Structure 1
Amino acid sequence: MLSRRLLRIKIVKALYSHFKSESDSLIVSEKNLLFSIDKTYELYHQLLWLVVDVANYAENRIELGRRKKLPTPEELNPNTRFVDNRVIAAIRDSEELTDYLQRKKLGWVQYPELIKKLYILLIDSDFYRQYMNGSTGSFKGDAALVEKFYTRIVCECEALEEVIEEQSIFWTDDVDFATIMVLRTLSDMREGRQELPLLPQYKSDDDREYVRELFRHALVHFREYAEYIGRYTSNWEVERIAFMDNVIMVAAMSELIAFPSIPVKVTLDEFIEIAKYYSTPGSSTFINGVLDKVVEALTAEKRIQKTGRGLLDK
């Protein structure tokens, strides 16, 4: 499922886009937000299938070797441990996954050079050679090979990043998140289990509502909250404060006020972390200082009312 951090990032980006485009439609901006979240879930399925196409490429090479007029002994009796990998077979045989890919028109058939490159990178790796030369095979060993393919090959492949950007502008920053979902799926797989344990898009209905509510709350109260935050940035020149900083702080303030079940520390940590990657180099320190003052003021005004799990950091 998509993590809360990713959902927060999507909301911040959607708010930034809404105001920078000078849109006057909350409905349209919300649809764009939900669409971008859907696209990340598509990328999860797309990446999960990637190892299957690499294995299919390997199998085709084996067949070509066997069909040669003068095949070598190795070509006649190839090592098929990789193409027979049980984890890959379970992914390939998943009707739920293949149906989803067909419905969304996803796949890698238009990128044979990428599949070839990933295959070459894989067979040149030490972990692949150790796997292929192992004395015995196990489901656990099959799973470890696939996991290393994603962590050591996929995550480091610049050619893959270029292809993903070409496929969808919504996927540019989502590869790491989607890969984590793939790895979580692999860790949930068990030998003999019939169905591939695909992750749901949202952890629960609460997460789905969280997206809509936080986005709407921040959008409706943006000016009010920006002015409130402005009380604690008076020593800074307005033009030196990145607009993204204001968006992040308004989103954080919205979560502090509108979600009593989320601890204050969680909100602060999450949005400060987002600032490290999506705003200027000094933004996280600046935002940290401002939000500390905002929390103190809102608490004194009793506008932050935490209940349940939200009380954990008190």
Structure 2
Amino acid sequence: MQIIYAMHQSGSEDLEKEEKFLFSSLESIQDLYLIVVSTLIEIKKKEEVFLEKASKKHLATAEDLKPNRKFIANKVLQFLEDNNSISIALENRKINNWSQNDDLILIILDEIKKSAIYQNYLADTSSSFEADKKFVTDIFTELIASNEKLYDYLEDFRITWVDDIPLVNTSLLKQLKHIEEHNEKSFSVLPLYKDAEDKDFARDLFRKTVLNENDLAKEYIDRTPNWDPERISEVDTIMLKMAICEFLKFPSIPIKVTINEYLEIAKEYATPKSSIFINGILDNLVKDFQKTDKLKKTGRGLM
């Protein structure tokens, strides 16, 4: 939707160029994911360096010489640092953001150390993998995923990530909660696409919508008598075209799935009335398509 909108705004008709940008934007989501994962690893490393330097101070205190090492000994943070899947992905994608921006890691680390979550964790003399996991998920939720400075950095690094940050944070949190002790396979870097068909769908939906925009628009123009076509927002028209494209050109996608998907997108990106407008148009279209046998859905429960 965003790529098609950008094409309209720029007047671009270079389908190949815009398609490359589409996949470049999609592939960068994994870089975002790896940067966020590496944040957890880097804060542990920075604390290790801090404790090492403190112990070598000329006038080192008793605390400097014998610090509470529970944070850097956290089994889940160590698990992430040792995880081959993460290490290989960071190397392959050349993710080294924190070697160049360690000041942000130090800021995040300082905020963690000042938090009640951290203080309570260090004060607890008991130790368990589950307690370590809860601590990591808590600091990730409360102090990393919600960190405004980190958010600003990621937004400045790549503007297209603004909409992807919540998705990445939610996915990573779910993964952290499912890490199992002594089971490296319980955490692996998430693949960008579920399978080849998943990637093909992105390409096909983009192409079929762009190449058939005029025909797709004809399907809803006559069904908006109470709406001035010039006053219907461009985002709304793009969503309608994409939804109609799914109705007519993607037989394996259930009608309800398409409608629900675009209603959710409308709530997120369009005007307050858009979801009502789009729902009404799509609902009437489906009824008409069914009467004229225009819908060719395959599989059980797809109508």
Instruction: Work out the CA distance in 2 between the residues paired with 1:138 and 1:191.
Output: 10
Q: How does 1:29-68 map to 2 (within 5 A)?
A: 29-68=18-57
Q: Secondary structure at the match of 1:91?
A: helix
Q: Secondary structure at the match of 1:189?
A: coil
Give 1:80's match in structure 2, choosing from 45, 69, 73: 69
Letter aligned with residue 139 of structure 1? F
Task: Indicate conservation of the 8 Å contact 1:256/1:264, yes or no.
Answer: yes
Counterpart residue number, 1:224? 215
Instruction: Work out the CA distance in 2 between the residues paired with 1:237 and 1:249.
Output: 15
Letter aligned with residue 137 of structure 1? S
Post-superposition offset of 1:71: 2.1
After superposition, give the CA deviation of every residue in 1:48-97 in whole Å (9 maximum; x if it has no partner): 11111111121122112211222222222211111111221122123332
Counterpart residue number, 1:174? 164
Post-superposition offset of 1:243: 0.3
Letter aligned with residue 232 of structure 2? I
Are residues 1:275 and 2:263 paired?
no
Instruction: Work out the CA distance in 1 between the residues paired with 2:300 and 2:91.
Output: 41
Q: Secondary structure at the match of 1:234?
A: coil
After superposition, give the CA deviation of every residue in 1:154-179 in whole Å (9 maximum; x if it has no partner): 22211111111222222222111111
Instruction: Work out the CA distance in 1 between the residues paired with 2:129 and 2:188.
Output: 16
Stretches of structure 1 lacking an aligned partner (at least 5 in a row): 1-11
Counterpart residue number, 1:248? 239
Q: Secondary structure at the match of 1:70?
A: coil
Moved more, 69-78 or 241-250: 69-78
Q: How does 1:11-22 map to 2 (within 5 A)?
A: 12-22=1-11
Under a length normalisation based on structure 1, what TM-score does the superposition of the two structures give? 0.89
Stretches of structure 2 lacking an aligned partner (at least 5 in a row): none
Instruction: Work out the CA distance in 1 between the residues paired with 2:294 and 2:70.
Output: 61
Give 1:257's match in structure 2, choosing from 248, 261, 280: 248
Moved more, 51-60 or 186-195: 186-195
Give 1:194's match in structure 2, choosing from 156, 172, 184: 184
* Superposition misfits of 4+ residues, deviation over 3 angstroms: none
Letter aligned with residue 219 of structure 1? V
Residues 84/58 of structure 1: CA separation in 2 closer, same or farther (3 Å cut): same
Task: Indicate conservation of the 8 Å contact 2:85/2:188, yes or no.
Answer: no
Task: Indicate conservation of the 8 Å contact 1:264/1:310, yes or no.
Answer: no
Task: Indicate conservation of the 8 Å contact 1:298/1:304, yes or no.
Answer: yes
Higher relative contact order (CA 8 A, sep 6+): 1
Task: Indicate conservation of the 8 Å contact 2:89/2:189, yes or no.
Answer: no
Instruction: Work out the CA distance in 1 between the residues paired with 2:51 and 2:22.
Output: 45
Give 1:117's match in structure 2, choosing from 107, 110, 113: 107
Counterpart residue number, 1:147? 137
Instruction: Work out the CA distance in 1 between the residues paired with 2:184 and 2:260.
Output: 40
Instruction: Work out the CA distance in 2 between the residues paired with 1:208 and 1:295.
Output: 27
Instruction: Work out the CA distance in 1 between the residues paired with 2:300 and 2:22.
Output: 27
Instruction: Work out the CA distance in 2 between the residues paired with 1:137 and 1:305.
Output: 59
Q: How does 1:147-166 map to 2 (within 5 A)?
A: 147-166=137-156
Moved more, 122-131 or 216-225: 122-131
